Amino acid sequence: MGQQLKQDLLTLTQSKNTAKGIHRLNSGMSLIVAIVIFLPYALGLTNPCPLLCNCTSSPNISVVCTLKELDSFPCSFPLPTISISVEFTNITSLCNGSLSELPSLQELHLSNNALESLPTNFLIPLNSLHTLDLTNNLIKSISPTLFLDVPALRLLVLRGNLLTNLWISKIAILENLNWLDLSHNHLKEVDSMSFSSLYKLETLDLSYNQLHQLPSSLLKGLPLLQRLNLEGNNLSSLPPDFFAATPFLKHVFLAQNSLHFLPEGLLLPVMSLKTLDLSENILKSLPSGFLQDGKGLEESMEQTLDLSNNPWHCDCNLLSLHHWVTEHKNNLYSIDNTQCAGPGALKNCTLHQVKVLELCQK
Protein backbone atom coordinates (compact mmCIF):
# COMPACT_ATOMS: atom_id res chain seq x y z
CA MET A 1 0.00 0.00 0.00
CA GLY A 2 2.88 2.40 0.82
CA GLN A 3 4.48 1.81 -2.55
CA GLN A 4 1.16 2.41 -4.35
CA LEU A 5 0.62 5.66 -2.43
CA LYS A 6 4.04 6.93 -3.50
CA GLN A 7 3.22 6.08 -7.11
CA ASP A 8 -0.11 7.94 -6.92
CA LEU A 9 1.55 11.00 -5.42
CA LEU A 10 4.17 10.96 -8.18
CA THR A 11 1.48 10.74 -10.87
CA LEU A 12 -0.47 13.61 -9.28
CA THR A 13 2.65 15.78 -9.15
CA GLN A 14 3.40 15.09 -12.81
CA SER A 15 -0.19 15.95 -13.77
CA LYS A 16 0.02 19.28 -11.95
CA ASN A 17 3.30 20.09 -13.62
CA THR A 18 1.80 19.21 -17.01
CA ALA A 19 -1.23 21.41 -16.33
CA LYS A 20 1.04 24.28 -15.34
CA GLY A 21 3.02 23.75 -18.51
CA ILE A 22 -0.11 23.82 -20.65
CA HIS A 23 -1.30 26.94 -18.84
CA ARG A 24 2.04 28.62 -19.46
CA LEU A 25 1.90 27.52 -23.11
CA ASN A 26 -1.63 28.89 -23.55
CA SER A 27 -0.63 32.13 -21.88
CA GLY A 28 2.36 32.37 -24.14
CA MET A 29 0.27 31.71 -27.25
CA SER A 30 -2.28 34.32 -26.17
CA LEU A 31 0.53 36.82 -25.77
CA ILE A 32 1.90 35.99 -29.21
CA VAL A 33 -1.54 36.36 -30.80
CA ALA A 34 -2.05 39.68 -29.05
CA ILE A 35 1.34 40.88 -30.27
CA VAL A 36 0.59 39.76 -33.84
CA ILE A 37 -2.76 41.55 -33.81
CA PHE A 38 -1.90 44.77 -32.05
CA LEU A 39 1.78 45.33 -32.79
CA PRO A 40 1.16 46.46 -36.40
CA TYR A 41 -1.29 49.08 -35.13
CA ALA A 42 1.19 50.23 -32.46
CA LEU A 43 3.95 50.55 -35.04
CA GLY A 44 1.67 52.29 -37.53
CA LEU A 45 2.02 49.48 -40.07
CA THR A 46 -1.72 49.17 -40.70
CA ASN A 47 -5.00 50.77 -39.66
CA PRO A 48 -7.62 49.64 -37.15
CA CYS A 49 -11.14 48.69 -38.12
CA PRO A 50 -13.13 51.89 -38.85
CA LEU A 51 -15.59 53.10 -36.24
CA LEU A 52 -19.16 51.77 -36.58
CA CYS A 53 -17.90 48.96 -38.81
CA ASN A 54 -17.20 45.26 -38.43
CA CYS A 55 -14.03 43.66 -39.71
CA THR A 56 -13.49 39.97 -40.29
CA SER A 57 -10.33 38.25 -41.43
CA SER A 58 -9.51 34.77 -42.71
CA PRO A 59 -6.75 35.75 -43.50
CA ASN A 60 -7.74 38.71 -45.68
CA ILE A 61 -9.96 41.40 -44.23
CA SER A 62 -13.56 42.26 -45.11
CA VAL A 63 -15.02 45.51 -43.78
CA VAL A 64 -18.78 45.90 -43.35
CA CYS A 65 -20.42 49.19 -42.35
CA THR A 66 -24.23 49.21 -42.43
CA LEU A 67 -25.29 51.45 -39.56
CA LYS A 68 -27.48 54.49 -40.25
CA GLU A 69 -25.42 56.39 -37.71
CA LEU A 70 -22.50 56.39 -40.13
CA ASP A 71 -22.53 59.75 -41.92
CA SER A 72 -18.98 59.93 -43.28
CA PHE A 73 -17.01 57.47 -45.35
CA PRO A 74 -14.06 55.90 -43.49
CA CYS A 75 -10.81 57.45 -44.66
CA SER A 76 -8.63 54.46 -43.80
CA PHE A 77 -8.95 50.69 -43.74
CA PRO A 78 -6.86 47.85 -42.31
CA LEU A 79 -4.51 45.88 -44.51
CA PRO A 80 -4.97 43.70 -46.45
CA THR A 81 -8.65 44.55 -47.01
CA ILE A 82 -10.14 42.73 -50.00
CA SER A 83 -13.82 43.63 -49.58
CA ILE A 84 -15.57 46.80 -48.37
CA SER A 85 -19.32 47.15 -47.88
CA VAL A 86 -20.53 50.58 -46.79
CA GLU A 87 -24.27 50.30 -47.39
CA PHE A 88 -27.57 51.63 -46.01
CA THR A 89 -25.83 54.54 -44.30
CA ASN A 90 -26.18 58.32 -44.44
CA ILE A 91 -22.88 59.08 -46.15
CA THR A 92 -23.11 61.74 -48.87
CA SER A 93 -19.51 61.87 -50.06
CA LEU A 94 -16.34 59.81 -50.32
CA CYS A 95 -12.76 60.46 -49.25
CA ASN A 96 -10.47 60.97 -52.21
CA GLY A 97 -7.52 58.63 -51.81
CA SER A 98 -9.01 56.59 -48.97
CA LEU A 99 -8.56 53.42 -51.02
CA SER A 100 -5.12 54.21 -52.40
CA GLU A 101 -3.35 51.93 -49.90
CA LEU A 102 -5.53 48.90 -50.66
CA PRO A 103 -3.86 47.21 -53.64
CA SER A 104 -5.66 43.93 -52.88
CA LEU A 105 -9.19 45.38 -52.80
CA GLN A 106 -11.47 43.23 -54.96
CA GLU A 107 -15.03 44.23 -54.05
CA LEU A 108 -16.49 47.63 -53.21
CA HIS A 109 -20.17 47.81 -52.29
CA LEU A 110 -21.59 51.31 -51.76
CA SER A 111 -25.30 50.76 -52.35
CA ASN A 112 -28.23 52.50 -50.66
CA ASN A 113 -26.41 55.56 -49.41
CA ALA A 114 -26.88 59.23 -50.30
CA LEU A 115 -23.83 59.68 -52.51
CA GLU A 116 -24.19 62.57 -54.93
CA SER A 117 -20.87 62.27 -56.74
CA LEU A 118 -17.69 60.23 -56.99
CA PRO A 119 -14.28 61.90 -56.54
CA THR A 120 -12.19 61.93 -59.70
CA ASN A 121 -9.36 59.89 -58.19
CA PHE A 122 -11.42 57.75 -55.86
CA LEU A 123 -10.54 54.48 -57.63
CA ILE A 124 -6.88 55.23 -58.37
CA PRO A 125 -5.20 52.79 -58.44
CA LEU A 126 -7.19 49.64 -57.74
CA ASN A 127 -5.78 47.05 -60.09
CA SER A 128 -7.51 44.12 -58.36
CA LEU A 129 -11.01 45.58 -58.08
CA HIS A 130 -13.51 43.39 -59.95
CA THR A 131 -16.86 44.43 -58.39
CA LEU A 132 -18.24 47.94 -57.88
CA ASP A 133 -21.83 48.35 -56.69
CA LEU A 134 -23.28 51.87 -56.45
CA THR A 135 -26.96 50.93 -56.46
CA ASN A 136 -29.52 53.43 -55.16
CA ASN A 137 -27.56 56.59 -54.60
CA LEU A 138 -28.01 60.14 -55.91
CA ILE A 139 -25.20 60.21 -58.46
CA LYS A 140 -25.90 62.63 -61.32
CA SER A 141 -22.70 62.36 -63.33
CA ILE A 142 -19.47 60.41 -63.66
CA SER A 143 -16.01 61.86 -64.06
CA PRO A 144 -14.44 60.98 -67.44
CA THR A 145 -11.35 59.61 -65.68
CA LEU A 146 -13.05 57.69 -62.87
CA PHE A 147 -12.44 54.24 -64.36
CA LEU A 148 -8.94 54.78 -65.74
CA ASP A 149 -7.18 52.59 -63.16
CA VAL A 150 -9.57 49.71 -62.54
CA PRO A 151 -8.55 47.38 -65.38
CA ALA A 152 -9.87 44.23 -63.68
CA LEU A 153 -13.41 45.53 -63.16
CA ARG A 154 -15.93 42.90 -64.27
CA LEU A 155 -19.17 43.98 -62.59
CA LEU A 156 -20.38 47.59 -62.46
CA VAL A 157 -23.79 48.46 -61.02
CA LEU A 158 -25.07 52.05 -61.19
CA ARG A 159 -28.73 51.11 -60.88
CA GLY A 160 -31.09 53.58 -59.25
CA ASN A 161 -29.14 56.82 -59.57
CA LEU A 162 -29.79 60.14 -61.33
CA LEU A 163 -27.56 59.79 -64.40
CA THR A 164 -28.86 61.75 -67.39
CA ASN A 165 -26.24 60.98 -70.03
CA LEU A 166 -23.43 58.60 -70.70
CA TRP A 167 -20.54 59.22 -73.04
CA ILE A 168 -17.67 57.19 -74.40
CA SER A 169 -15.04 58.44 -71.95
CA LYS A 170 -16.95 57.11 -68.96
CA ILE A 171 -17.47 53.40 -69.56
CA ALA A 172 -15.83 52.33 -72.81
CA ILE A 173 -12.37 51.91 -71.26
CA LEU A 174 -13.44 48.96 -69.09
CA GLU A 175 -12.27 46.22 -71.41
CA ASN A 176 -12.79 43.37 -68.91
CA LEU A 177 -16.31 44.34 -67.90
CA ASN A 178 -18.90 41.59 -68.36
CA TRP A 179 -21.87 43.00 -66.39
CA LEU A 180 -23.09 46.59 -66.64
CA ASP A 181 -26.29 47.75 -64.94
CA LEU A 182 -27.44 51.31 -65.68
CA SER A 183 -31.12 50.68 -65.02
CA HIS A 184 -33.48 53.03 -63.18
CA ASN A 185 -31.61 56.22 -64.05
CA HIS A 186 -32.67 59.26 -66.10
CA LEU A 187 -30.72 58.47 -69.26
CA LYS A 188 -32.24 60.20 -72.26
CA GLU A 189 -29.60 59.19 -74.78
CA VAL A 190 -26.51 57.05 -75.12
CA ASP A 191 -23.70 57.83 -77.51
CA SER A 192 -23.11 55.34 -80.32
CA MET A 193 -19.61 54.66 -78.96
CA SER A 194 -20.51 54.42 -75.27
CA PHE A 195 -19.93 50.67 -75.12
CA SER A 196 -17.67 50.28 -78.14
CA SER A 197 -14.72 48.68 -76.35
CA LEU A 198 -16.55 46.43 -73.92
CA TYR A 199 -15.57 43.32 -75.83
CA LYS A 200 -16.25 40.97 -72.91
CA LEU A 201 -19.61 42.39 -71.87
CA GLU A 202 -22.28 39.71 -71.48
CA THR A 203 -25.06 41.64 -69.69
CA LEU A 204 -26.22 45.19 -70.42
CA ASP A 205 -29.16 46.63 -68.49
CA LEU A 206 -30.56 49.99 -69.62
CA SER A 207 -34.08 49.38 -68.36
CA TYR A 208 -36.29 52.06 -66.85
CA ASN A 209 -34.58 55.10 -68.25
CA GLN A 210 -35.97 57.72 -70.64
CA LEU A 211 -34.50 56.51 -73.92
CA HIS A 212 -36.49 57.47 -77.03
CA GLN A 213 -34.16 56.04 -79.65
CA LEU A 214 -30.95 54.06 -79.90
CA PRO A 215 -28.05 54.39 -82.37
CA SER A 216 -27.82 51.53 -84.85
CA SER A 217 -24.19 50.91 -83.84
CA LEU A 218 -24.79 50.94 -80.08
CA LEU A 219 -24.04 47.21 -79.72
CA LYS A 220 -21.33 47.08 -82.37
CA GLY A 221 -18.47 46.47 -79.92
CA LEU A 222 -20.28 43.81 -77.87
CA PRO A 223 -19.72 40.51 -79.69
CA LEU A 224 -20.26 38.40 -76.55
CA LEU A 225 -23.44 40.10 -75.36
CA GLN A 226 -26.00 37.57 -74.12
CA ARG A 227 -28.53 39.58 -72.13
CA LEU A 228 -29.98 42.97 -73.10
CA ASN A 229 -32.62 44.72 -71.02
CA LEU A 230 -34.30 47.80 -72.53
CA GLU A 231 -37.56 47.47 -70.63
CA GLY A 232 -39.41 50.53 -69.38
CA ASN A 233 -38.12 53.17 -71.81
CA ASN A 234 -39.87 55.22 -74.50
CA LEU A 235 -38.60 53.39 -77.58
CA SER A 236 -40.90 53.45 -80.59
CA SER A 237 -38.79 51.16 -82.77
CA LEU A 238 -35.29 49.74 -83.22
CA PRO A 239 -32.83 50.23 -86.11
CA PRO A 240 -32.98 47.39 -88.70
CA ASP A 241 -29.37 46.32 -88.05
CA PHE A 242 -29.47 46.83 -84.29
CA PHE A 243 -28.51 43.21 -83.50
CA ALA A 244 -26.07 42.79 -86.39
CA ALA A 245 -23.01 42.50 -84.12
CA THR A 246 -24.53 40.37 -81.33
CA PRO A 247 -24.88 36.82 -82.68
CA PHE A 248 -24.78 35.23 -79.21
CA LEU A 249 -27.61 37.27 -77.76
CA LYS A 250 -29.95 35.02 -75.78
CA HIS A 251 -32.29 37.24 -73.76
CA VAL A 252 -33.91 40.48 -74.97
CA PHE A 253 -36.34 42.48 -72.86
CA LEU A 254 -38.32 45.25 -74.59
CA ALA A 255 -41.46 45.37 -72.45
CA GLN A 256 -43.14 48.61 -71.39
CA ASN A 257 -41.91 50.77 -74.23
CA SER A 258 -43.84 52.51 -76.99
CA LEU A 259 -42.93 50.08 -79.75
CA HIS A 260 -45.35 50.31 -82.64
CA PHE A 261 -43.09 48.91 -85.35
CA LEU A 262 -40.23 46.43 -85.59
CA PRO A 263 -38.25 46.13 -88.84
CA GLU A 264 -38.19 43.00 -90.96
CA GLY A 265 -35.13 40.82 -90.38
CA LEU A 266 -34.33 42.41 -87.01
CA LEU A 267 -33.68 39.02 -85.39
CA LEU A 268 -31.85 37.37 -88.30
CA PRO A 269 -28.31 37.88 -86.90
CA VAL A 270 -29.22 36.30 -83.56
CA MET A 271 -28.36 32.61 -83.65
CA SER A 272 -29.90 31.26 -80.45
CA LEU A 273 -32.44 33.63 -78.93
CA LYS A 274 -34.01 32.12 -75.81
CA THR A 275 -36.17 34.95 -74.45
CA LEU A 276 -37.98 37.81 -76.17
CA ASP A 277 -40.28 40.08 -74.17
CA LEU A 278 -42.40 42.46 -76.27
CA SER A 279 -45.23 42.85 -73.77
CA GLU A 280 -46.97 46.12 -72.93
CA ASN A 281 -46.16 48.01 -76.11
CA ILE A 282 -48.43 49.32 -78.87
CA LEU A 283 -47.65 46.72 -81.51
CA LYS A 284 -50.48 45.92 -83.90
CA SER A 285 -48.56 43.51 -86.11
CA LEU A 286 -45.12 42.06 -86.84
CA PRO A 287 -43.41 41.59 -90.21
CA SER A 288 -44.05 38.26 -91.89
CA GLY A 289 -41.57 35.67 -90.66
CA PHE A 290 -40.36 37.91 -87.83
CA LEU A 291 -40.45 35.21 -85.15
CA GLN A 292 -39.19 32.53 -87.52
CA ASP A 293 -36.03 34.63 -87.75
CA GLY A 294 -35.63 34.31 -83.98
CA LYS A 295 -33.77 31.02 -84.03
CA GLY A 296 -34.06 29.28 -80.71
CA LEU A 297 -37.44 30.64 -79.67
CA GLU A 298 -39.35 27.76 -81.19
CA GLU A 299 -36.72 25.19 -80.23
CA SER A 300 -37.00 25.85 -76.50
CA MET A 301 -39.23 23.70 -74.34
CA GLU A 302 -39.82 26.62 -71.97
CA GLN A 303 -41.83 29.82 -72.13
CA THR A 304 -39.68 32.15 -74.16
CA LEU A 305 -41.92 34.78 -75.77
CA ASP A 306 -44.20 37.43 -74.30
CA LEU A 307 -46.53 39.27 -76.69
CA SER A 308 -49.16 40.18 -74.12
CA ASN A 309 -50.89 43.51 -73.65
CA ASN A 310 -50.38 44.80 -77.18
CA PRO A 311 -53.27 46.01 -79.38
CA TRP A 312 -52.91 43.26 -82.01
CA HIS A 313 -54.94 43.94 -85.15
CA CYS A 314 -56.17 40.49 -86.10
CA ASP A 315 -56.44 40.48 -89.88
CA CYS A 316 -54.60 38.80 -92.76
CA ASN A 317 -51.46 40.78 -92.00
CA LEU A 318 -51.17 38.83 -88.76
CA LEU A 319 -51.24 35.38 -90.38
CA SER A 320 -47.53 34.70 -89.88
CA LEU A 321 -47.65 35.66 -86.21
CA HIS A 322 -50.88 33.73 -85.71
CA HIS A 323 -49.32 30.61 -87.23
CA TRP A 324 -46.29 30.85 -84.95
CA VAL A 325 -48.43 31.41 -81.86
CA THR A 326 -50.77 28.50 -82.54
CA GLU A 327 -47.84 26.18 -83.28
CA HIS A 328 -45.84 27.24 -80.23
CA LYS A 329 -48.42 28.40 -77.73
CA ASN A 330 -46.59 26.55 -74.96
CA ASN A 331 -43.70 28.95 -75.49
CA LEU A 332 -45.80 32.01 -74.67
CA TYR A 333 -45.96 33.89 -71.41
CA SER A 334 -49.35 35.39 -70.51
CA ILE A 335 -51.04 33.67 -73.41
CA ASP A 336 -54.50 34.66 -72.18
CA ASN A 337 -53.46 38.32 -72.28
CA THR A 338 -52.26 38.07 -75.86
CA GLN A 339 -55.48 39.33 -77.40
CA CYS A 340 -56.88 41.01 -80.46
CA ALA A 341 -57.82 44.68 -80.17
CA GLY A 342 -59.96 44.29 -83.27
CA PRO A 343 -61.42 44.41 -85.77
CA GLY A 344 -65.04 44.07 -84.80
CA ALA A 345 -66.06 40.82 -83.16
CA LEU A 346 -62.46 39.70 -82.69
CA LYS A 347 -61.86 42.33 -80.05
CA ASN A 348 -60.68 40.73 -76.78
CA CYS A 349 -60.33 37.29 -78.39
CA THR A 350 -57.14 35.48 -77.43
CA LEU A 351 -54.90 35.29 -80.46
CA HIS A 352 -54.15 31.56 -80.36
CA GLN A 353 -57.87 30.72 -80.36
CA VAL A 354 -58.77 32.82 -83.39
CA LYS A 355 -59.28 30.77 -86.56
CA VAL A 356 -57.45 31.57 -89.78
CA LEU A 357 -60.72 32.19 -91.62
CA GLU A 358 -61.68 34.75 -89.01
CA LEU A 359 -58.44 36.64 -89.59
CA CYS A 360 -59.05 36.98 -93.31
CA GLN A 361 -62.79 37.46 -93.34
CA LYS A 362 -64.03 40.19 -95.63
d(CA 61, CA 43): 19
Q: For the CA atoms of 318, 319, 321, 324, what is the dihedral angle to 10 degrees?
A: 170
Q: Kindly report the average pLDDT of the chain as a whole number.
A: 86
Q: Is residue 108 part of a domain?
A: yes
| pLDDT above 90 coverage of the chain, percent | 64
Residue 54 and residue 16 in one domain: no
d(CA 320, CA 307): 14
Residue 55 and residue 23 in one domain: no
Cβ-contact 274, 319 below 8 angstroms: no
Q: Is residue 76 part of a domain?
A: yes
Q: Is residue 34 part of a domain?
A: yes
Q: In this predicted model, what pLDDT tens digit does every residue of 15-45 receive, in sequence order?
A: 555 444 444 445 444 444 334 444 444 434 4
**pLDDT score, position 237:** 96
Sign (positive/negative) of CA torsion 296, 301, 302, 304?
positive
pTM for the complete prediction? 0.85
Which residue segment(s) compose the domain that 119 sits in?
Answer: 48-131
* Beta bridge mates, 333: 306
Q: In this predicted model, what pLDDT tens digit does every residue of 262-274 receive, in sequence order?
A: 999 999 999 889 9
The DSSP code sequence of 123-173 is TTT-TT--EEE--S-------TTTTTT-TT--EEE-TTS---EE-HHHHTT
Q: Which amino acid is at 321?
A: L
**pLDDT score, position 357:** 83
Q: Of 99, 131, 163, which marks where a domain is finished?
A: 131
Q: Is residue 319 part of a domain?
A: no
Q: For the CA atoms of 205, 206, 209, 215, what is the dihedral angle to 10 degrees?
A: -170
* Mean pLDDT computed over 142-163: 92
Name the more confident of 233 and 360: 233
Backbone angles phi, psi at 222, to 5 degrees: -120, 65
d(CA 93, CA 358): 63
Cβ-contact 292, 268 below 8 angstroms: no
* Mean pLDDT computed over 204-214: 97
**CATH number of the domain that 99 lies in?**
3.80.10.10
95 CB-near residues (< 8 Å, 6+ apart):
73, 74, 75, 119
Q: Find the angle CA(126)-CA(131)-CA(134) to the nearest 5 degrees.
A: 100
